[in-house]
């Protein structure tokens, strides 16, 4: 129900103090005037709901671009483990053996994820519905 503006990542109502703590996601390059306008807009919105005070804070967005940066990649144990896995696999099994073992591992992971995760449940429902429509 929040009016247009920045994304709220967290909202906490402290009822005994009639205080609303709001956490906004800070996009890179957001000017101070935009932040002030968003806070004012949210305060006006909250006053209409009967909340007297709003405390706003801004947090940086931990986006995918940050996670895949070279600095973060070189610090990731998954990267170094994967690099060692590929190097040893190619040396011990050759290129075709590495591709075959990788394909089998990806298939096993996909099947396991299909039956053990909530996203897998959604995929299975989608496939069932698709097969009903085509039958």
Residue pLDDT, tens place only, 40-92? 887 888 888 888 788 888 887 665 455 567 777 788 888 889 899 899 999 99
Please check whether residues 13 and 56 belong to one and the same domain: yes
Domain boundary among 21, 39, 62: 62
Q: Give the whole-number percent of the chain exceeding pLDDT 90.
A: 24
- Mean pLDDT, the chain, integer: 82
In a domain, 68, yes or no: no
From 46, 62, 78, the end of a domain falls on 62
User: Looking at per-residue confidence, does 7 or 96 come out higher?
Assistant: 96
Give the pLDDT of residue 3: 54
Of 12-16, 58-62, 65-69, 114-118, least confident by mean pLDDT is 65-69
Average pLDDT of the residues in 34-41 = 82
Residue 58 lies in a domain: yes
**Rounded to whole angstroms, how far apart are CA atoms 13 and 42?**
14
Question: Average pLDDT in the 99-106 region?
Answer: 92
Domain stop point among 20, 41, 62: 62
- Give the per-residue pLDDT at 65: 52
Whole-structure pTM value:
0.43
Position 128 in a domain: yes
Please give the pLDDT value at position 64: 46
Q: How far is the CA of 132 from the CAs of 119, 120, 123, 124, 125, in angstroms? A: 20, 18, 14, 12, 11
Q: Is residue 29 part of a domain?
A: yes
Q: Is residue 67 part of a domain?
A: no
Residue 3 forms part of a structural domain: no
Q: Could you tell me the residue range of the domain that residue 14 belongs to?
A: 8-62
- Count of domains observed in the chain: 2
């Amino acid at each position: 129900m929040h009016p247009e503006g920045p994304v709220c990542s967290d909202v906490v109502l402290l009822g005994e103090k009639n205080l609303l703590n709001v956490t906004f996601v800070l996009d890179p390059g957001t000017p101070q005037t935009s932040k002030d306008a968003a806070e004012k807009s949210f305060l006006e919105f909250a006053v209409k709901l009967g909340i007297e005070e709003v405390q706003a804070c801004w947090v940086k967005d931990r986006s995918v671009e940050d996670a895949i940066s070279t600095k973060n990649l070189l610090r990731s144990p998954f990267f170094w483990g994967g690099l060692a896995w590929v190097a040893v696999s190619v040396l011990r099994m050759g290129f075709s053996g590495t591709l075959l073992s990788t394909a089998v591992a990806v298939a096993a992971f996909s099947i396991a994820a299909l039956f053990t995760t909530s996203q897998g449940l959604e995929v299975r429902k989608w496939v069932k519905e698709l097969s009903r429509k085509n039958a």
